[in-house]
């Protein structure tokens, strides 16, 4: 069973819903989730907030945070996940933000990615990734990583703290 199917199954077992906020993945998380038959039972929808202003206006990311740190930041990722959860009315929210390339952004090198999950209880979780590969590989690995993070949280295997991971070669 793939990651998307697994998280959707875990959510269905709990009677909970999911929403997504995506930046660098540009809708790939939503596409992965909706490729699973029956996803509509738990997946409510997503916001693809590529522009920084949309992160602020649609997802409620703090304007000062965006001004000081830019959109590629762990706290931005967490606020995006919370924004998706709250604004779309879901139990769980997840988010992706980062630099897929070809150029650096906000002073961050290509391959810098933050994925986040916010649930109904607790502060949420962010994972910092340092990914290798081309733009498509970085985006695919970001999708895989955010779904893995959500799966870990839902199955009780959440990491004790933020981690850094290196992607494919």
Tell me which DSSP letter residue 41 carries. Answer: G
pLDDT at position 158 is 58
Write down the pTM of the prediction.
0.92
Coil, strand or helix at 127? strand
Per-residue CA distances from 148 to 21, 94, 160, 167 (Å): 16, 11, 15, 13
pLDDT at position 165 is 41
Per-residue CA distances from 128 to 29, 46, 131, 145 (Å): 17, 21, 10, 10
Q: What percent of the chain has pLDDT over 70?
A: 93
Spell 131-164 as b/e; 16+ CB within 10 A means b.
bebeeebbbbbbbbbbbbbbbbbbeeebeeeeee
Choosing among 3.20.20.70, 3.90.950.20, 3.40.50.970, 3.40.50.300, the CATH entry for 3-166 is: 3.90.950.20
Tell me which DSSP letter residue 15 carries. Answer: T
Query: Which residue numbers in the chain have pLDDT < 50?
Result: 159-169
pLDDT at position 135 is 97
Per-residue CA distances from 18 to 7, 93, 134, 139, 160 (Å): 10, 6, 29, 20, 22
């Amino acid at each position: 069973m793939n990651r998307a199917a697994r998280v959707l199954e875990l959510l269905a077992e709990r009677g909970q819903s999911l929403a997504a906020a995506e930046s660098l993945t540009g809708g790939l998380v939503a596409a992965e989730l909706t490729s699973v038959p029956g996803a509509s039972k738990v997946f409510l929808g997503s916001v693809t907030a590529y522009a920084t202003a949309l992160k602020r206006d649609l997802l409620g990311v703090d304007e000062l945070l965006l001004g000081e740190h830019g959109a590629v930041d762990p706290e931005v990722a967490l606020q995006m996940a919370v924004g998706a959860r709250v604004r779309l009315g879901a139990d769980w929210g997840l988010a992706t933000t980062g630099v897929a390339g070809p150029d650096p952004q906000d002073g961050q090198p290509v391959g810098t990615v933050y994925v986040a999950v916010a649930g109904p209880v607790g502060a949420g979780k962010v994972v910092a990734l340092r990914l290798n590969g081309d733009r498509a590989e970085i985006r695919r690995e970001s999708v895989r990583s955010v779904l893995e993070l959500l799966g870990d949280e839902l199955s009780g295997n959440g990491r004790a703290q933020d981690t850094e991971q290196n992607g494919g070669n």
